[in-house]
Amino acid sequence: MKLLLFDIDGTLLVSNGAGRRAMNKSLSSMMGIDTITLKGIDFGGRTDQQIIFDILMANGMSTEEAKDALPDALDAYIAAFTNAFEPHFVTALEGAVELVKTLADYEHIQLALLTGNVEKTAYIKVDAIGLNGYFPFGAFGNDFSERSMLPQLAVDRALEFNGHSYKEKDIVIIGDTKHDILCGKALNVFSVAVSTGHYKSGDLSQYDPDILMDDLSNMDKFIELVV
C-alpha cells in the first residue's frame, strides 16, 4: 500500500493569483488600509497561516498583535476567496488530472492532499479542475503553521480513513518546491519534485528529491518509478 500526498499550487494547478487577490482584499479591509504590502512575502510552498502572519507583520502589527489577529484573518481570507472565486481562475497543469484519475484506479494506492492551502480553498481549487472526490482527506494550512508538521498528520488521517499504517518510502509526497521535499525528511518519505512552479529543476535538485520530473505529463514514467 502506498499513500500519495499531492501538493496543489504549482503541482496540480495554478490559480492565477486568486489567493493573493483574496488575501489583499480581506486583509486590507480588516486592517483598515487601501491595500496591503506583499513586498518580501514568500508564498511558495508555505502554509496560508505562515503567509498571512507574515503579511500582518509586514503591515505594521507586532508579533503578539499578529498572533491574536491570525484566526480572524484566516476566516476573512477564506470568506473573501470563497465569495470571489470563479473556476476560470484555475488552470490544470499538464498531465495532472489524467495522472490522478489513473492512480485512483490502483487498489494499493491511497490519494490525499498535503498543501499549505487551508482546507476549504484547497478543495475549491481541485474541484475546479474536475478532481472532486479524488482526495478524501489531507493535511492543510489551517492545521499547522509549519509545513513540516503536515506529513505526520496526513499519515494519521490515512490510518483513520482506511486503517492502514503507512511508513517511510510507502509515503510519497509530490510537490513543486523545496518545502515539499524537505517537509517529509523526518519521516524518510519518498519525494517526487516537479519543476512546474517557481522552482526549476536545478533549484529542486539541490534538495535531493527521490525523483525529479519536468511535469506530470509522463504518466508511464511516474507509474514505473513511483507506483
pLDDT (tens digit, 9 = 90+) per residue, 107-144? Answer: 999 999 999 999 999 999 999 999 999 999 999 999 99
Question: What's the pLDDT score for residue 37?
Answer: 84
Q: Residue 222 above 90 pLDDT?
A: yes
What is the C-alpha end-to-end distance of the chain, expressed in Å?
Answer: 10
What is the C-alpha separation between 191 and 184, in angstroms, rounded? 8
- Domains defined along the chain, listed by start: 2-15+90-226 (3.40.50.1000), 18-84 (1.10.150.240)
Return the pLDDT at 6.
98
Q: Which grid coordinates belong to 78?
A: 477564506
d(C-alpha 202, C-alpha 66), whole Å? 36
What pLDDT band is residue 148 in, cutting at 50, 70 and 90? very high
What's residue 108's pLDDT?
96
Q: Is 218 left (phi over 0), alpha (psi -120 to 50) or beta?
A: beta
Query: In whole numbers, what is the pLDDT of the chain averaged over residues?
Result: 94
User: In Å, how far from its chain's centre is CA 172?
Assistant: 14
All 3 cell numbers of residue 48? 496560508
pLDDT (0 to 100) of residue 42: 81
Res 35 pLDDT > 90: no
pLDDT in tens, 199-211: 889 999 999 999 9
Does position 147 have pLDDT exceeding 90, yes or no? yes
The band of 36, judged by pLDDT with boundaries at 50, 70 and 90, is confident
Do the bridges between strand 91-92 and strand 13-14 make them parallel or antiparallel, or are there none, so unpaired? antiparallel
